Amino acid sequence: MKRCPQCNRAETDDALVFCRVDGAALVNDSSSLNSEAGTVHLGSGPTPNELATGILSHTTARSVNRATGPTTALPPQQGTTDSLSIRKRRRRVTAVVVIATAVIAATTTVFVNSYFRTKSNKSIESIAVMPFVNTSGNAEVDYLSDGMTETLISSLSQLPNLNVKPSSSVFRYKGKETNAQTIAKELKVQAILNGRVVQHGQDISLFIELIDSSLDKVVWSETYNRKQTDLLTLQTEIARDVSSKIKTKLSGEDLAKVTKSYTTNEEAYQLYLKGNFYTSRFTKEGFDKGSEYLEQAIKLDPDYALAYNGLAYNQLTAMDWFSNPKIAGAKARDTVNKAAALDSSLPQTQLLLGLVAYWVEWDWSAAEKAFRRAIELNPSDPRPYGVCAWLLSNTGRNDEAIELAKQSYQLDPISPETNWYLGIVLLAAGKTDAAISRFQASIDLEPTYFYAHNFLGRAYLQAGKIPQAVAAFERARDLERENPENWANLAYAYGVSGKRDEAEKIIAYLKDLSRTNYVAPYYLAIAYAGLGDNEQTFKCIEQAYEDRSDSLILYLTADPQMQKIRLDPRYKEMLKRLNLPE
């Protein structure tokens, strides 16, 4: 029980802080007067963590409201001071309480500002946006959760002095139970952003939380409820809110970059997300569906730069695996040029311009220039370093390639992709054991990464470990059976291990497949090389040259599968025609 020290009124409601008659601060009954009398109870008050998150308990605000007193005062009890004295004392006490409240509010504001200034001195400089979890119970909504993650990563990457881990780093955690502390330690970041997406019909709910890894605490969280038709606005709002929490000072230019929306068409945006989602599967069906969605997005908004980038990436990545590079390459060149005309300042656009120069135009100088521009625009993205390293390796600049690949790896040492990039340049430089180590590390990080198994097999070939090479190629084939390159590598390994019948069966399969699908001639060249059939090998290499095969320029100079034909004059002649070093 509490009572008023002024009017002696008893209050049984323990939630009350101030007297309902004269506004005086209530104290506990006599049993606790020695410790509580005269103390203003404002509740527990916000903790530093609450201040950091912006999710305040609002105890002070409630106290201030109560301090104003009820609209109707109860009459004083008999035996107390007369009504006039009470009213005078009430005005005095109210004035004191108002002043005290103002002081408390000012003190709280100073504390909050001081806290954030302290935090700003230790501002977040690195963050990992983890793949948003689709909790809708519908796998078809994965495009939405993945796409929103990608969009936020791209938006936050626009902030200066902020290292945002790329999607290639964070998506390896998708579907895995890993705590924030472990992720932060592995990725070497100060903060982790988690998100959960729920879709019910046309309604979307998104819950996000920002975790300070040094405190191992949630320092900010928010729930957003929107219609799916408001997805673009939601993305902009999230980017703005997250940016304001991790960076205390944002210039108008920074904010404009972070919240920039490259389309105002909601349907085009969702088609763009679907297109990227299916492209990332790296299957024939995925490339086909991805291309279809991205083309629809561009049709709805012909000025959508990101959709052009997504389509160009789709076209470039599918080359040789599933499409004729002479046709797809020309399309990719036109697509990325449209993206560049709309906005050449995007790091992704520069990366794609570099890939077109590298894989389509075979212009090594222009490719290197674009890759280095991409690095300049986004120094924290390891991919341009890795691709540029591969280019330098192809053109005989092995030492430079290794250094650049190391930079890619150092930016994200637990990424399967950065380990793979370092592996391929080490392999080209003849550092076979080190290359095997990198490919194995890539596989350990992502066991289903078929391309790492693919190159591990190549490294075992270079080391003379044929049985291990066969096993690696078989694993790559089993992981992605639609990809002709995996079959070709296995045919080579079977050929050099004496399993000629098995190799010839694969060649027959690839030829039969080529009647309905594109099969890169370079892959058949690999298969024939395993049988020691130089005439068919060079015939296929010549056809690969006519098709403008990107596999030809990527593999020919360092591919262990071409080791036996390197003394043939036709090999050196082809390198000369490709402007590649012997």
Q: Is 168 exposed, middle or buried (0-12, 13-18, 19+ CB in 10 A)?
A: middle
Q: What is the DSSP string of 19-79?
A: -TTT-PBPEE-GGGHHHHTT-----S---HHHHHHT----HHHHHHHHHT--SSPPPPPTT
The backbone torsions φ and ψ at residue 381, rounded to the nearest 5 degrees and listed phi first, read -90, 115
Please tell me whether residue 443 adopts helix, strand or coil conformation: helix
- pLDDT (mean) for 17-29: 51
- On whether the CB atoms of residues 207 and 223 are closer than 8 A, the answer is yes
| Average pLDDT, integer, range 15-43 | 44
Share of the chain above pLDDT 90, in %: 63
Same fold, 126-258 and 262-370: no
**What number is the average pLDDT over the span 446-471?**
97
The kind and range of the H/E element at 113 are helix 83-121
List, for residues 151-166, the tens digit of each pLDDT value.
Answer: 999 889 888 888 899 8
User: Considering only CA atoms, which of 32, 30, 10, 97 is closest in space to residue 60?
Assistant: 97
* Residue written as token pair 């969605």: 293
3-class secondary structure, 139: helix
pLDDT band at 137 (very low <50, low <70, confident <90, very high): confident
Dihedral angle at the C-alpha atoms of 303, 308, 310, 315, nearest 10 degrees? Answer: 160
More confident residue, 60 or 502: 502
- Quick one: pLDDT band at residue 132, thresholds 50, 70, 90? very high
- The answer to whether residues 329 and 360 touch, using CB atoms and an 8 Å cutoff, is yes
Question: Which of 34, 37, 43, 50 lies closest to 2 in space, CA to CA?
Answer: 37
What letter represents residue 88's amino acid? K
Q: Is the pLDDT of residue 23 over 70?
A: no
- Measured CA to CA, the distance from residue 90 to residue 166 in angstroms comes to 62
Confidence of residue 283 (pLDDT cuts 50, 70, 90): very high
Give the pTM.
Answer: 0.76
Q: How far apart are CA 26 and CA 18, in angstroms?
A: 5
List the chain domain ranges: 2-121, 126-258, 262-370
Q: Which two tokens stand for residue 242?
A: 């997250």
pLDDT tens-digit series, residues 393-422: 999 999 999 999 999 999 989 899 999 999
Q: Do residues 360 and 548 make contact, with C-beta atoms less than 8 angstroms apart?
A: yes
Residue, of 83 and 490, whose pLDDT is higher: 490
**134 close to 171: Cβ distance less than 8 angstroms:** no
What class does CATH assign to 262-370? mainly alpha
- Stretch 503-522: mean pLDDT: 97
**CATH 3.40.50.10610 is right for the domain spanning 126-258:** yes
Would you state the pLDDT for residue 252?
Answer: 85
Per the prediction, the chain carries an average pLDDT of 83
The predicted model gives 138-148 an average pLDDT of 89
Q: How confident is the model at residue 138 (pLDDT cuts 50, 70, 90)?
A: confident
- 376 CB-near residues (< 8 Å, 6+ apart): none
Query: Which of 231, 277, 156, 327 shows the shortest CA–CA distance to 285?
Result: 277
pLDDT at 63: 29
237 sits in the region (left: phi over 0; alpha: psi -120 to 50; else beta) called alpha
Count helices and strands (H / E) in the chain. Answer: 27, 9
| Mean pLDDT in residue range 208-231 | 91
Q: How do residues 343-362 score in pLDDT, each as one tens digit?
A: 999 999 999 999 999 999 99
Query: CA–CA separation, 213 vs 431, rounded Å?
Result: 38
Q: How far apart are CA 401 and CA 389, in angstroms?
A: 4
Q: Which two tokens stand for residue 483?
A: 């990809």
CA dihedral 421, 422, 423, 426 (to 10 degrees): 130
Per-residue pLDDT at 88 exceeds 70: no
